[in-house]
Structure 1
Amino acid sequence: MNLPEGLMADVAAWHPHPRAFITISGAHLYGFPSRDSDIDLRGLHVQPLREVVSLEPGRDTHSRMWFRDGLEVDVVTHDVAKYCRLLLRCSGEILEQLTSPLIVETSPLHDELLALTPSLVCTGYARHYFGFSRGQWNQFGKENRLKPLLYTFRTLLTGIHLMRAGEVETDLTVLAAEYGPAYLPELIEAKRSAEHGGTPADLLDRDRFTADFEKLTARLETERDTSPLPDVPTCRDELNELVIRTRLAAVRE
């Protein structure tokens, strides 16, 4: 996607620390952006050692929201140590941000983390996709909005694919073609016309949605239980060394 002119200059002027990478997340990453979709930028920064060892350590997360050219921009970055801890805790959201193909800024540190992705992927990530999909499904039940409905199916299918193939795939158009349900392309097309719209009346079928939600939830459980993936990430030591090297390199610079 094309970012608004000057957006990353705004980020650079605001952000207090060097950034190892920034990628695009949200609806643009998931394959169903609308004309008024937010621009969600996520990434990793390196907190100075002086802040890390201080009696009053600085913030390890920086975030900002503002409007640029009529679109809401949401930026969140975490310090390298926090980011690695979140990966080890099997945060699917963080793994998706790391592996996003929509790269705005990158660095050798980004490349190092990407190289560790096969050792990060494990069945522990299924917990994220169970929990996130259930939360989005409950949200859809309250308001009949299309966005949480698509997020429900997107998270379930991403989780299923991760357990089956050991790779991160977040684009619902790709996932729908492989796993269904068959009506997802129609829902995606409806979403592209309005970010916060309701589910069109001619597509709203709660019984069908409920049956597919339950079926895919059960399939995610089965895929997790039969997956050859390890239970937890196997690169804790490598991530620890990466954090130490990154801190020491920042001191030398």
Structure 2
Amino acid sequence: MNAQTIDYTKLQRQVDAHPYPLVFATISGAHLYGFPSADSDFDLRGVHLLPLEQVVGLDPGEETVEKEGIHDGLEMDLVTHDAKKFFGLMLKKNGYVLEQLLSPLVVYTTPEHEKLKAIAKDCITKFHGHHYLGFAATQWKLFLKEEPPRVKPLLYVYRVLLTGIHLMRTGEIEANLLTLNETAQLPYIGELVERKLAGAEKGRLDAADIQFHEREYAKLVAELEYAMEKSPLPEQATGKAALNDLLVRLRISGC
């Protein structure tokens, strides 16, 4: 499978142009999930740090910075949150932000990024399973919405469900579908990825395919629900104090 080459130098230039200091910037989206097409855009995600005067003053800074477009010949979508907002999301059973934080595709990092990753394990609970069930249901609706349905949203369905099952069983975040399937051994995943990479002509499914994947979707939803019920993960996050301490130190130091 031909994965799109990642030009970290060009991505770094976008990070360098960010209006605020960054704690980290990583790549999410199809590149993280293991099935980027040649024309896939780059989803950059991260955490920035607002200066103290924009936190305590009357004129608030940007909690979220968004930038998209074509830069240096690459289509990019950059989204970063201020540290306080991001830390709050980590405590709200949001698997998406944990995937961004723990992404192995790192464009920019700091010692505080490493500290934040260490705290992340104390923010994971068994109720993160609800995040992945809800995310999968949304992606399934998107899959059925188009006529004929495309392979891409179906891959997102399977990626989300397998990530959730793996997390409930192991307490580890893994977002790469191909890596997840080394354990899940779903025989159709490789073919679906190949069809997605082949382009629009082969990226559609017929009625027989849809019926098959409806059964697979229902089976994996039930598997995730069972994994969540039996998960050894705690019911409550215990990382709040450590996040608070890190946030205070970040504000004082200005990163």
TM, length-normalised to structure 1:
0.93
Residue ranges of structure 1 left out of the alignment (5+ in a row) = none
2:178 matches 1:173:
yes
Residue ranges of structure 2 left out of the alignment (5+ in a row) = none
Residue 53 and residue 204 in structure 1: after superposition, are their counterparts in 2 closer, same or farther (change >3 A)?
farther
Q: Which residue of 2 aligns with 1:59?
A: 62
2:184 matches 1:151:
no
Q: Which residue of 2 aligns with 1:12?
A: 16
Counterpart secondary structure, 1:159? helix
Between 97-106 and 196-205, report the one with greater CA deviation. 196-205
Counterpart secondary structure, 2:137? helix
Out of 217, 224, 239, which is 2:221 matched to?
Answer: 217
Is the 1:18–1:45 contact (alpha carbons within 8 Å) kept by the matching residues of 2? yes
2:240 matches 1:246:
no
CA displacement, residues 5-52 of structure 1 (integer Å, 9 cap, x when unaligned): 534223422x21001110000000000011011100000111101000
Out of 110, 113, 124, which is 2:113 matched to?
Answer: 110
Is the 1:36–1:71 contact (alpha carbons within 8 Å) kept by the matching residues of 2? no
Is the 1:163–1:224 contact (alpha carbons within 8 Å) kept by the matching residues of 2? yes
Q: Which residue of 1 aligns with 2:189?
A: 184
The amino acid that maps onto 2:101 is: L
Residue 201 and residue 129 in structure 1: after superposition, are their counterparts in 2 closer, same or farther (change >3 A)?
closer
Question: What count of residue pairs does the alignment treat as equivalent?
Answer: 249
Between 63-72 and 77-86, report the one with greater CA deviation. 63-72
Residue 17 and residue 147 in structure 1: after superposition, are their counterparts in 2 closer, same or farther (change >3 A)?
same
Q: How far apart in 2 are the matches of 1:164 and 1:97?
A: 20
Q: Which residue of 1 aligns with 2:123?
A: 120
The amino acid that maps onto 1:9 is: R
Q: How far apart in 2 are the matches of 1:121 and 1:203?
A: 38
Is the 2:151–2:205 contact (alpha carbons within 8 Å) kept by the matching residues of 1? no
The amino acid that maps onto 2:174 is: E
Q: Which residue of 2 aligns with 1:130?
A: 133
2:221 matches 1:226:
no
Q: Which residue of 2 aligns with 1:43?
A: 46
Q: How far apart in 2 are the matches of 1:205 and 1:54?
A: 57
Out of 205, 211, 222, which is 1:207 matched to?
Answer: 211
CA displacement, residues 220-252 of structure 1 (integer Å, 9 cap, x when unaligned): 0110010010112111111111111111112xx
CA displacement, residues 56-79 of structure 1 (integer Å, 9 cap, x when unaligned): 211111010011355420001111
1:145 deviation in Å? 1.3
Q: How far apart in 2 are the matches of 1:126 and 1:220?
A: 7
Q: How far apart in 2 are the matches of 1:152 and 1:72?
A: 24
Counterpart secondary structure, 2:50? coil
Counterpart secondary structure, 1:216? helix
TM, length-normalised to structure 2:
0.92
Is the 1:38–1:73 contact (alpha carbons within 8 Å) kept by the matching residues of 2? yes
- After superposition, the CA RMSD in angstroms is 1.8
Counterpart secondary structure, 1:233? coil
The amino acid that maps onto 1:149 is: L
Is the 1:35–1:193 contact (alpha carbons within 8 Å) kept by the matching residues of 2? no
1:197 deviation in Å? 6.3
Q: How far apart in 2 are the matches of 1:235 and 1:5?
A: 34
Q: Which residue of 2 aligns with 1:94?
A: 97
